[in-house]
Amino acid sequence: MRTLFSFWVFSLVAGLFLQACTSPIKPVPTPTSSVVFVLSTAARVPTQIPTATPHSTATPTLIASPTMLATATETITVTPTPGPIWGTPASLMLHRKNDQFDTVQFLREFIGLLQKSGARVLTYRTLAGQPVVGTSRPFIISIDDIYLRYPIDPSVLEMIGLLREAGYPAVLGVVTEGDYPYPETVATLMALQDLGWEIASHSDLHHNLASMEKVAPKSIFPEIRTSLDKLESALGRRPITLILPEGQMTRGVMQLTRTGVLWVVGISGGNQYDTRQAFRYVGREGPDGDARTTFEIMLKRFGPK
Ligand SMILES: [Zn+2]
């Protein structure tokens, strides 16, 4: 009986180890020891990070069996342990067209470059369980400042049309102020969500969170929670991504941790993220000159190191 019990325990441990070792996630080939986060002072991610439970994709629900034991013995020696640091996909930040900049034309050209390069276009939500590996060229495209209470700007609708035509999903940053969601905006967002687009919170009032916390440090959590609640109630799905108003990171890490978002999206820094942290800060690049120049800047910034 005792021998049988020992065998069972060994099988269970070996099975769990196998689970960890055969996880489909593969690390970015950068050694973790050489990872350096370079952030501007304004967008610095505090180093003493969250005590909250880190998000994990592991599902250690196993029933040990002799077959597993046999496989585990073969696999343990050949499969490397995945590292916790991942490269951020090249991430583009867009806003509606204005007098100074024709975002629609920019995006049209940018899509052409994506198509030529064979890029993969993802969302933060799809990236959650699928970190970026090797030399593939993953991109994330986000469009900010869509207001739940107003009709979507015609230039943004045009951009959505271009992306749909190309078969690329995007991330839409939605501000939720007010009590009345505009029905057509809700319908459009729901339809896109069903097509695999991601709807992210862009906060409730679009206030700069770093300025807010100087006045009232505890106001960040309710500001974001309100926005998540409104989006969940309007669209039936709770966002997992917060796009920071004005790209401004806050030092109120615990306030953001409490919101339960997985992705916190700013502008500066965040070229890599640490999967052990309660949320992942990632940066983006806005249009910088024409589409080709921006594309090249993005590849340099986010490309494999
Ligand atoms: Zn904004």
Higher-scoring residue by pLDDT: 243, 303: 243
Q: What percent of the chain has pLDDT over 70?
A: 70
Mean pLDDT over 269-297 rounds to: 95
Domain 85-302 annotated CATH 3.20.20.370? yes
What pTM does this model have? 0.74
**What is the arithmetic mean of pLDDT over 250-260?**
89
> CA separation (Å) from 153 to 73, 90, 148, 156, 231?
59, 25, 11, 5, 19
Amino acid at 122: L
Q: Tell me what pLDDT residue 303 has.
A: 75
165 CA distance to ligand 1 middle (Å) = 25
Mean pLDDT confidence for 231-238: 98
Q: Do 54 and 282 touch, CB atoms closer than 8 A?
A: no
What's the gap in Å between 197 CA and the centre of ligand 1?
18
> Which of 48-52, 208-212, 284-288 is modeled with the greatest confidence?
284-288
- Per-residue pLDDT, 248: 86
pLDDT in tens, 26-46: 344 433 333 333 333 333 333
Question: How far, in Å, is the centroid of ligand 1 from the Cα of 41?
Answer: 20
Return the C-alpha torsion angle 232, 233, 235, 236, nearest 10. 70
**What's the 238 CA to ligand 1 centre distance in angstroms?**
19
Domain regions of the chain by residue span: 2-75, 85-302
How much distance in Å is there from the Cα of 210 to the middle of ligand 1?
14
Q: How far is the C-alpha of 274 from the C-alpha of 87, rounded, in Å?
A: 9
Please answer whether residues 95 and 267 qualify as being in contact, where contact means their C-beta atoms are separated by less than 8 angstroms. Answer: no
Q: pLDDT, tens digit, for every residue of 113-123?
A: 999 999 999 99
- Give residue 68 CA to ligand 1 midpoint distance, Å: 51
